[in-house]
Amino acid sequence: MDAYVHVRGLSKAFPVRRGVGQVLRGEHPVVHAVRDLDFDIAQGETVGLLGESGCGKTTTGRLLLKLVEPTSGTARIGTRELAGLKGAALRDFRRDVQFVFQNPFDALNPRIQIGRSLAEPLINAGVPKAEHADRIRLVLERVRIKGVELLERFPHEMSGGQLQRIVLARALVLEPRFIVADEPVSMLDVSVRAGILNLMRDLQDSLGLTAIYISHDLALVRYVARRTMVMYLGSLVEDGPTEDVISRPLHPYTRALIAAVPLPRVSQTRDPLPLRPGTPDARKVGAGCAFVNRCPVAIAACTAERPPLVTLPGGRRVACHLMPAATQPRPPVTLSPA
């Protein structure tokens, strides 16, 4: 079966502010936010995109929704190639894809009532006005919000949990087929996060949505996604079933990431991999592996050549020169029953 999301060689570089010396030398430095992404996502699949701040997760989501244009590479969502989409085709595409923003307090216009915020996507998509009330009623049921009087409130009159449900409703009112959720609960109180995540999981199942959850939070990704892709400084470094990635992380960065995070129901007798001191800096990525300055097991080839993302027996994908040899010696982490 064809993938619903099909990405090949997708890259995005942003220009950075030039220093005086660079201006004098006529240089135009760029930072590579995303480099050569290759991945497929099946229809109805939920994938977690995991990595620390600045690793390119959000840029990847924005590229997939055509909110920014790639520097190179291709992406296809459903049957639509994103390159060259414009006019009516772009408007149709925008109905089928939606972004769920990180901060519900910023995602809604504070000066307009909730009802108007929900109607806006319908107006912009040219949905006949006669359908608006039914569509809004249905989507409020879906996000489990009761009371049409809420439609007359302004965002500041609602709680964070209610607002995130409205943000979800706004994303779903056009009945999209693909959503990108960017840290969807990170700004909410812990007490309401589980409710929103459960709701999102239920909606995905009932509506058959294809989804990417962008997060730095391993526990969140584990909760919502059966498959996880790990990014580091713009590159995909590991991709596989979430429980496999957690119980047997293969890439040195993933190993360090997993070992650093306490997870419920995962034995803490994990294989720690202390990183070399250093901070990730996308401006300093050279010709080799982006992780080389922090990797404790780097070899000479790592500074000279970028490791390709290779598919291992069983389907896991890892970008490391030590693969597949590094997969052999370590026993799996024990997962206790859910």
Buried residues in 180-205 as b, exposed as e (16+ CB within 10 A): bbbbbbebbeeebbeebbebbeebbe
The CB-of-311 to ligand SF4 minimum distance in angstroms stands at: 16
Choice between 34 and 211, CB closer to ligand SF4: 34
The CB-of-259 to ligand SF4 minimum distance in angstroms stands at: 15
The CB-of-235 to ligand SF4 minimum distance in angstroms stands at: 10
The CB-of-294 to ligand SF4 minimum distance in angstroms stands at: 8
The CB-of-126 to ligand SF4 minimum distance in angstroms stands at: 49
The CB-of-301 to ligand SF4 minimum distance in angstroms stands at: 7
HEC-encoded secondary structure of the chain: CCCCEEEEEEEEEEECCCCHHHHHHCCCCEEEEEEEEEEEECCCCEEEEECCCCCCHHHHHHHHCCCCCCCEEEEEECCEECCCCCHHHHHHHHHHEEEECCCHHHHCCCCCCHHHHHHHHHHHCCCCHHHHHHHHHHHHHHCCCCCHHHHHCCHHHCCHHHHHHHHHHHHHCCCCCEEEEECCCCCCCHHHHHHHHHHHHHHHHHHCCEEEEEECCHHHHHHHCCEEEEEECCEEEEEEEHHHHHHCCCCHHHHHHHHHCCCCCECCCCCCCCCCCCCCCHHHCCCCCCCCCCCCCCCCHHHHCCCCCEECCCCCEECCCCCCHHHCCCCCCCECCC
The CB-of-57 to ligand SF4 minimum distance in angstroms stands at: 19
Q: How far, in Å, CA of 331 to CA of 338, rounded?
A: 21
Choice between 100 and 257, CB closer to ligand SF4: 257
Angle made by CA atoms 92, 94, 98, in degrees to the nearest 5:
140
Choice between 219 and 326, CB closer to ligand SF4: 326
Choice between 70 and 307, CB closer to ligand SF4: 307
Choice between 20 and 325, CB closer to ligand SF4: 325
Choice between 151 and 298, CB closer to ligand SF4: 298
The CB-of-254 to ligand SF4 minimum distance in angstroms stands at: 9
Choice between 143 and 233, CB closer to ligand SF4: 233
Binding site for ligand SF4 (CB under 6 A): 251-252, 289, 291-292, 295, 297-299, 302, 307, 320-322
Choice between 123 and 297, CB closer to ligand SF4: 297
The CB-of-285 to ligand SF4 minimum distance in angstroms stands at: 11
Choice between 136 and 256, CB closer to ligand SF4: 256
**Cβ neighbours for 21, distance < 8 A, ≥ 6 positions apart:** none
